[in-house]
Amino acid sequence: MTILRNDTGTARERASGEPVGGLELEVAIGRNVRELRIQYGLTVAELATRVGISKAMLSKIENAQTSCSLGTLGALADGLDVPVTSLFRGADRERPSSFVPAGGGTAIVRDGSQAGHEYLLLGSLRGEHRRLECLHVTLTAKSETYPLFQHPGTEFIYMLEGVMDYAHGRSVHRLTAGDSLQMDGEGAHGPADLIELPIRFLSVIAFPDTVAPHR
């Protein structure tokens, strides 16, 4: 089953031995063909006729669902009146990732940090990708007071262990292992009561484009 989160992405199946890098090349070709076609005001059918391939094949190329032969690449370049190399634009661009092994992560101090409250930053990317903050939070001790947060963007919590009541605005949610909670970060939120310790959960915050994660 193929799942697409929205219309801007691509999804396809690959053989177990097929390198993922090949898909990145196909994605670059498909993106460039689509952008050039739209730039020239051509429909899928019009470009397909000009190139000499079926409309269905061109649609598959634009959605990175098939590999282009050298002949088809040449025909596409001729039909769009561009060099073949322009269809590969962006294929060699670095796509950053950050791997954190089990037990890794960088300990950080956040508003409300206290004894028994540990926040581990699970990696960090550069530039525009810093809009995402991923934390592994461990709570091992009850307290008279608990941290309360407010921030721009959306936060997602996934419970790994333990039981806690988590407040968001006027609502309180009982979270156990396997539960998740997604919320507007502008609403005041934080643990309301620690029911069963230790408590471990993942917190993923997606900040707006104009706001950088806090440290």
pLDDT in tens, the chain (215 residues): 444 455 556 566 666 665 555 577 888 898 899 999 999 999 999 999 999 999 999 999 988 888 888 899 999 999 999 999 888 887 766 666 777 787 788 887 765 556 678 888 897 776 666 788 899 999 998 887 788 899 999 999 999 999 999 999 999 999 999 999 999 999 999 999 999 999 999 999 999 876 555 55
Helix axes 44-51, 55-62, angle to 10 degrees: 110
Record the tokens describing residue 110, joined without a space.
């956040």
DSSP count for the chain of H helices, then E strands: 4, 7
Residue for token pair 């059918």: 45
d(CA 137, CA 121) in angstroms, rounded, equals: 9
d(CA 135, CA 139) in angstroms, rounded, equals: 13
